[in-house]
Amino acid sequence: KHFTLTLFVFPQVGSRGVGVLSISKSGDLALSVASYLAGVQAVVSINGCSANAALPLHYKKRQLLPALKFDINKLIATESGAIITKYAMHDPLTEENKATLVPIERAGGHFLFIASEDDLNWDSKAYMDGMVDRLKRHGKENFESVSYPGAGHYLEPPYGPYCPSSFHGIVGMPVLWGGEPRTHAAAEVHLWRKIQQFFRTHLTCDRTQTKSRL
C-alpha cells in the first residue's frame, strides 16, 4: 500500500506560490511537502497527524521519514459494528517514534492547524498542540491554530450531509469519526470562512481574484 501526492501547477493562476488544503492522512503529506519542497506558501491541515503516519515517506527513491505505526489491539469495537481507532496510533513524541515527526520548522510558508476535539479517528488536538509547541520552540510564528469542541474527524465544506461513520481504507473496516451533528455542522461553516481568509492572506496572486459564492 502507498499514497501518492501529486501537485499540479497552473501558470495561468498567477500565484507566486502554492497553497495546500489537506485532511486526515493527507495532513502529514501536506506538512512534508511544505517542509521539504520550496514554493509552498500556505498549508491548511485539518485533523492531520504531526508525524508521518502509517507508511514510510519516500521522495525520488529515498526514504525521508519512517512510519508511525498503530496497534491493532487498541481498536475499540462498538455495538454498531464500527470501531474507534483514536487510541491505536503510537505516540509520536516518545523517543522511539520521534524520527517519524515531520520537521515543520524547516518550512518557509504559513500553517493553519485545525483540530476537532471529538475526533475518534486519532487524537487531532494532541497532534495540533504538539506542532504548535514544536514551532514555538524553534522560534517560529508562521502558524495559526483552531480547535472545535464537539466536532468529528471529517470537517468538510459546509452544508453537506454529516458523516458519522464510513469504511476506513487503511484499517479495512467501518470506523466512527465522532462529532455531534449540529456542532459539527457549525464548525464546518466557521472553518470554511477561516480557510478562505487564510489563503487570501498568505497567497499572492497577479490576477484578479474571484470572490467565493459560498
Q: Which residues are catalytic?
A: 24, 119, 153
Whether the Cβ atoms of residue 75 and residue 83 lie closer than 8 Å to each other: yes
**Under DSSP, is residue 107 helix (H, G, I), strand (E, B) or coil?**
coil
Tell me the H-state helices in the chain: 25-36, 124-137, 181-202
Nine-digit cell string for 3: 499514497
Helix H or strand E encompassing 118: none
Q: Which amino acid is at 43?
A: V
Distances (CA, A) of 210 to 18, 75, 175: 17, 45, 38
d(CA 83, CA 75): 7
